[in-house]
Structure 1
Amino acid sequence: MTNQQTMLYQGVQIPRPVLNVDLHVLPNFTGRIVLYIENGKVKCDRRLLEEEHICALDTFIEMAREMELRIQEVSGGNDCNKNS
């Protein structure tokens, strides 16, 4: 049985890595947070709202295709409307 303080990695039991993180939330916060970690240090964190979801780009494209949405690339900078 695996101890909570170790994990199995490539057939070897190793100590679980620990990352101490200071989160910018209230003590009674319940929810989801996205962390950006670089070289083992948290560079930023952000709360996710209830209606927000995260997925990889290929997953987003697959979902859009399943819903038969058409995605079209738009070029032209900040103001693409040539009629204004």
Structure 2
Amino acid sequence: MSEAGGQSGSEPTLRRELGAFDATAVVIGAIIGVGIFFTPSRVAALAGSAELAMLTWVLGGVIAALGGLTFAELGALVPRAGGQYELLRDA
């Protein structure tokens, strides 16, 4: 762990260097990593029509956005570096 702000003698803390672009890249990477090359053909086969397949993807996007907004709200409630660890430690 490194010290924030270069203050010597204080308790070492994590530096908060994750910006909006970085967080977006992490989320997109996680979503793409789920199975971008397998999932579309399976959804299209199960949906039966292009309209229903697109509606399914839009619904999935809304659910993913709601999950992201939930983590954003939790991050605002616990404004310390540490992510999910800090949230679970406070629970």
Q: TM-score, normalised by structure 1?
A: 0.20
Bigger proportion of residues as helix:
2
Which structure has the larger Rg over C-alpha atoms? 1
Structure number with greater CO (CA < 8 Å, separation at least 6) is 2
* TM-score between both structures, scaled by the size of structure 2: 0.19
Of Structure 1 and Structure 2, the greater strand share is in 1
